[in-house]
Structure 1
Amino acid sequence: MRKFDIRKLKLRKVTVDDLNDRMLLLNLYLTQLITLIIGLAWLFFQGRNPIRVLSFPGNGEFALWGAGLAAVVLVVDVAISRWVPDEASDDGGVNERIFLKRPVWHIALIALVVSICEELLFRGAVQHAIGAYWTSIVFAAIHVRYLRHWIPTGLVFSISYGLGWIYILTGTIWAPIAAHFLVDLIMGLIIRFRRETE
């Protein structure tokens, strides 16, 4: 039996083009699982109950706030894509690779998983600790693929701040989850069907 030698371990930079579809999806879901675990652990150390944080509100007002924020985000994103050159908002092709060939049900599943995991961590735990502004800076920073260009970085920061704002306003994490889900779902569907018609 061969022993593992850490000195022979080699690290190399990998781009999205180096990953096959299976590895890309595995990376996506593994990242979300890690996000969920960190969010749950952070809530635990804050002495907060994740079930209470995720408790569903008694009325549907949160959905209106979520849909309203999502509509604003989508209008701004469409305007940016119309008047700003593609290279100024390039994410390295990650979103296109994730959504381009997915069936609609899988796009919806990805949007749901991402919205719940990320909002539990960022709005549920991080924002509780450091506030909406600093949470938005952290949220923009972890979306590393956008950091090469100021327009998508600013957009991600603004979206995060909007998500934090509707969380405070409604008092339920389901408002930012709804907004995040709708934005990811609609943008995924736009990528999927726009490329199909080109």
Structure 2
Amino acid sequence: MKKFDIRKIRFRKVTVDQLSDRMLLLNLYMTQALTFIIGLIVVLLQGRNVIRLFELPRTWEFALWGGGLAIAVMIVNLGISRFVPDEAQDDGGINERMFRGRPIWHIAILSFIIGICEELLFRGAVQHAFGAYWTSILFAAIHVRYLRHWVPTGLVFSISYGLGWTMTHTGTIWTPIVAHFLIDFVMGSIIRLRREKA
């Protein structure tokens, strides 16, 4: 039997263009599953009840706050896209590749999964331990594709801080989940529809 030699493992840098659509989607689902598992473990280690964390509020005020934040983010994003050059907003083409050929229903599913998984880890677990400011720094750092340019990095930090603030204000994780879902869904749909027009 042949022995496994760990020294023979080689890593190479791969660009977004070198990934197939299937591999890109698989990567997204795997990273979101990992994000959810880590968030779940951290919340449990904090001695908190995950079911209570995801308890739906009795009023719809949280949805108004989440929707309001999403609208504010889209207005700011529209202003940035109008006045800031494209090269200063470059994310490496990942968003374009992820959403341009995807059906709207699949963009909705992806947005919901991303909203649940990332908000569990960042707002549900990390923010509980370190607060909204440090959580937002970590959130911006995790979105590494934006770090090459200060405009998208600042925008991601600001969005994260807004998500954290709305959770603190409303007292429910569903507020940032609603906002995160709406932001990703609308932006993903815009990419999709813009491609159809082209």
Q: TM-score range by the shorter chain?
A: over 0.9
Deviation by residue 1:9-56 (Cα, 9 ceiling, x = unmatched): 001111111110000000000000000000000001100011111111
Q: Look up the SS of the partner of 2:161 in the other structure.
A: helix
> What's the counterpart of residue 163 of structure 1?
163
Match of 2:147 in 1: 147
Structure 1 residue 4, shift from structure 2 partner: 1.7
> Residue type of the partner of 1:67?
G
* Aligned-pair Cα RMSD in Å: 0.6
1:76-155 correspondence runs (5 A): 76-155=76-155
SS in 2 for 1:175: helix
Distance 1:175 1:183 in 2: 12
1:79-127 Cα deviation digits (max 9, x unpaired): 1011111100000000000000000110000000000000000000000
Aligned structure 1 segments of 4 or more residues deviating by more than 3 angstroms: none
Which residue number corresponds to residue 54 of structure 2? 54
Question: Take 1:4 and 1:56, find their aligned partners in 2: how far apart are those partners?
Answer: 50
Aligned-partner residue type, residue 175 of structure 1: T
Paired with 1:196 and 1:145, the residues of 2 have a C-alpha distance of 25
Q: Quick check: 1:25 aligned with 2:25? A: yes
Which residue of the partner structure matches residue 38 of structure 1? 38
2-structure distance, mates of 1:148, 1:71:
26
Deviation at 1:3, TM superposition (A): 2.5
Gaps of 5+ in 2: none
1:149-173 Cα offsets, whole Å, 9 max, x none, are 0000000000000000000000000
Percentage of identical aligned residues: 69
Question: 2:180 and 2:50 mapped to 1: Cα distance?
Answer: 19
The two structures have a TM-score, normalised by structure 2, of: 0.99
The CA distance in 1 between the partners of 2:152 and 2:3, in whole Å, is: 46
How many residues are matched? 198
Q: CA separation in 2, counterparts of 1:103 and 1:110?
A: 11
